Amino acid sequence: MAIFNCLCVSQVGDRDDSNLYISTKLKAAAEVTNIHTLVLQSIMSVNENACVHGLIVQLPLDSANCIDTELVTNAVSSQKDVDGSVSKLSRGDLNDCFIPCTPNGCMELIRQTGVFVAGKHAVVIGRSKIVGAPMHDLLLWNHATVTTCHSKTPDLPEQVGRADILVVGAGRAEMVRGEWVKEGAVVIDCGINHVPDDTRPSGKRVVGDVHYSSASQRAGYITPVPGGVGPMTVAMLMENQNSLIIPKEIMWVAATSRQ
């Protein structure tokens, strides 16, 4: 796979300060190009390795240099994309793609409550490509009426109060207050945040995006953090991975034989 990345700098004259700026910019561009090339070459190598059945690109990409996340995730073979980062989900092709693991886990949690998604008003807080956006699509294709909220939503408490099903993945500690939640709602908290806590040896504790103690007084069902969405996400990843190794008919026989 050839990667071409060209930066052209137009300069008039030969000022020393300009020369310094230009050399710095060209160096930075070369570093970014090298990083992209190394990452993409690594992904392509795994794509072509028949011994590897699944490939995950852990997001966010943590680098001092800017990396094009979409370019990297799009390089993953759709046949090995067990995390569902390259998906046909937005088009509703649910049977022809891997479903992103966290949203898929959320749907399984909702299913286990016995609450039917069809006809419900669902609110998703957050619009990330790995949680919020695919969560919206999954709920929509399962016949819920879906509202997506984000940092620019002006009437967030009012929107939350309408939700029969609330999924929160905004990345802000305990932002959703209990008094916002509709009585009896299903509340799925995808947040993982660290807040100071002098009572813990580490000096901090993990909380979600929902204020659990107050929301649990009103919700019909609510997931804890930690211990709720996280383990289910891992379970969905393993399900995607196993589907690449075990033929579906064998999985079906194994499942029915336990009943």
What does the angle CA 124 – CA 137 – CA 151 come to, to the nearest 5 degrees? 35
Take residue 157 and report the two structure tokens written for it: 């408490």
Query: What SS3 string covers 139-199?
Result: HHHCCCEEEEECCCCCCHHHHHHCCCEEEECCCCCCCECHHHCCCCCEEEECCCEEEECCC
Q: What distances in angstroms separate CA 8 from CA 29, 36, 187, 207, one per listed residue?
A: 10, 18, 51, 47
Angle at alpha carbon of residue 174, lines to 172 and 175, rounded to 5°? 65
Catalytic residues: 25
CA dist 217 and 225 (Å) reads 16
Q: What is the largest CA-CA distance in the chain?
A: 81
Q: Alpha-carbon Rg of the chain, whole angstroms?
A: 22
Residue 38 and residue 156: Cα distance in Å, rounded?
42
Asked whether 44 and 1 are in contact (CB, 8 A), the reply is yes
Q: Give the Cα separation of 209 and 125 in Å (integer).
A: 10
How many other C-beta atoms can be found within 10 angstroms of the C-beta atom of residue 42? 14
